[in-house]
Chains A and B, each alone.
Chain A
Amino acid sequence: MSAIASVSPAATEGLAAFDDDVPRPARLLGAAGLAWLGVAAVVLVWPDAQEVARTDLLGTLAAVLGGVLLLSWALGWIVPAVARLGHRAPWLCVLAVALAAWETVTAKLDLLPLPFFASPQAFLEVYTDDYPRLLDCLYHSVVLLAKGYLLGAAVGFASGVALGWSTRIGYWVHPVLRLIGPLPATAWIPLAFFVFPSSASASVFLIALATWFPTTVLTWSGVASVQTAYYDVARTLGAGPRFLVLKVAIPAALPHVFVGLFMGLGSSFAVLVVAEMLGVKSGLGWYLQWSQGWAAYANMYADLFIMALMCSTLITLLFRLRDRMLAWQKGLVQW
């Protein structure tokens, strides 16, 4: 208490000044708005050299974005929260320039060879015309991934805890883990599609396998590296084996477990795409293959973009979960 009271007035003023600094509308936000209006002008006014549809839609979208940005810049003078958008302004400016350049060399001047380099309009057209199929593919990919990942993570967690806790289980599981684990899950593809009744169940198995290995190894090492002092403390206070596993070993190992889950998620993405390209007749991976077969490169790029969004979102969700469950740790990496 006394320590706080004795802080000098000057120091308190300094803090207040620090507080004031943030909410001032960034001038760059206004510039970004103008830039996007410029993009709209380029798109709408300059006649297309390539034969493309959706020029009007693209121009309208750019104009709307520009208008919204200008409006938020103006609103920032009144509502401080809006002014915080300012830190996105540099990115928005760069994107406007990049889009204008892309539009110029494709649709407007027709400088780049056509099937490989699609114009922004063509990109947009994929979403407006083929969105039912893309949504369907996204849905199937997410469902397949969720089934395989959750199965692999659950089994991996359980086997990791068992390995770290019980030497008898370790005796049997450890050699299997050492032999099978490092083999990439994709190596099982020919066998899995042959053995399993459907390509969907084979894919679930493969994704689960890819998730299982890193989850197991890291859970195991997490449980094995718990300080014995924690067990000593719990035992002197009357804890039984159940408490030692559930309330000591597992919480202590959680930071490792999340590293395993993160690595498992990465390898599950890889297996998902390969499995969809080779066997499953739906999903974003299949769409990639399919559009390449038709030399529909715009569709491919549109699909890749959705895939990137999906993977990034899932990783973000995992990190959110980790931040919630490991709130007791300090200095977590922000994703």
Chain B
Amino acid sequence: MVSAALDLAPEAGTGSVAAGATLQIQGISHGFVLQNEILPVLHDITLRADPGEFVALLGASGCGKSTLLRLCAGLDRPRRGRLQMDGVEITRPHPSRVIMFQDPTLFPWRTVWDNAALGLEARGELRHGRSRVDEVLSLVGLGNFGRAYPHQLSGGMAQRASLARALVNDPRLLLLDEPLGKLDSLTRLTMQGELTRLWQQRGFTVLMVTHDVEEALLMAQRVIVFSERPACIRADLQVGLPFPRRRDDPELLRLRHEALGLLGLEAIW
């Protein structure tokens, strides 16, 4: 379905294909005030993602992965440390770095098409971008569902619509917060492949949060393993395998073992 739309050529003025951004996270610490006490969530995180790189963040539930992603998106400001995209400080949200949440968070009062067009409409660019919305919807396989409302979609379709809403803006940094976490296992396998191919075609930088070790190793070039809360970086695993990857590749199995060990789950393996 993705290959059918391989020729999604950049239009004049809507960005270019090889457009990944550099993300620099320098000494970030963050926490939340809970009952007059500070709950430390992130501790001194330093991380760099090069243009076009696919980085996965792996960690136990509640360790602070989503928090880090929100900081990267500019939705919240860190208590300490600096965040930069292409050398520019991240102080607020910007459509060049789009976050996709675990829930599709589609607007139920808008059709799929209008949901996908949200960014263009918000910035007043819809008049010139209509064909772009159509293109992206067929790219994610929802070409015929533009007029459906979110409650008429399956979980996988809703997540695709959410992906389309992000891609319409030609993001240079895509922040994925467990994007496949709630999907059934078959849909999940399909979408893992589709996301990887999309990333290869479009060349944006990806930071993807997941708690699924295999998913991280199948999709990412680097896997960052976090400790328990407050999260700090425990390991930075390079996954040098070519795409498409095989689940039973011995190198992948070895990395899986290593990652599970770092998460304190050796005994299970």
Contact = CB atoms under 8 A, between A and B. Distances in A.
Interface of A: 227, 229-230, 232-240, 243, 247-248, 251-252, 254, 326, 328-330
A235 B109 contact: no
9 contacts: A229-B101, A232-B70, A232-B105, A233-B165, A236-B75, A243-B122, A328-B150, A329-B108, A329-B151
A236 B109 contact: no
A222 to B, nearest CB: 12
A107 B107 CA distance: 62
Nearest to A242: B122
Interface stretch (B38-46, B90-98, B197-205): B90-98
Given A229-B101, A229-B105, A233-B105, A238 B122 contact: yes
B122 A240 contact: yes
B95 A237 contact: yes
Lowest 9 A-B CB distances belong to which pairs?
A: A237-B119, A239-B122, A238-B95, A236-B93, A238-B123, A251-B109, A235-B93, A328-B109, A229-B105
B121 interface: yes
A247 B121 contact: yes
Interface residues of B, number: 27
B122 A247 contact: yes
A229 B75 CA distance: 11
Nearest to B152: A330
B118 interface: yes
Nearest to A239: B122
Contacts, number: 71
Contacts of B97: 236
B161 to A, nearest CB: 12
B122 A234 contact: yes
Given A238-B95, A238-B122, A328 B75 contact: no
Given A251-B107, A254-B109, A237 B151 contact: no
Given A229-B101, A252-B109, A234 B118 contact: yes
B73 interface: yes
A152 to B, nearest CB: 25
Contacts of B110: 251, 328
Nearest to B96: A238
Which of B103, B105, B109, B150 has the most C-beta atoms of chain A within 10 angstroms of its own C-beta?
A: B109
A229 B103 contact: yes
A230 B107 contact: yes
A219 to B, nearest CB: 16
Interface string B75-114: 1000000000000000001110111010101011110000
Given A328-B149, A330-B151, A237 B105 contact: no
A282 to B, nearest CB: 42
Nearest to A237: B119
B169 interface: yes
A256 to B, nearest CB: 13
Contacts of A248: 107
Contact of A236 (B95, B103, B121, B151): B95
A237 B107 contact: no
Contacts of B165: 233, 237
A238 B122 CA distance: 6
A330 to B, nearest CB: 5
Q: Which of A229, A230, A236, A248 has the most C-beta atoms of chain B within 10 angstroms of its own C-beta?
A: A236
B23 to A, nearest CB: 15
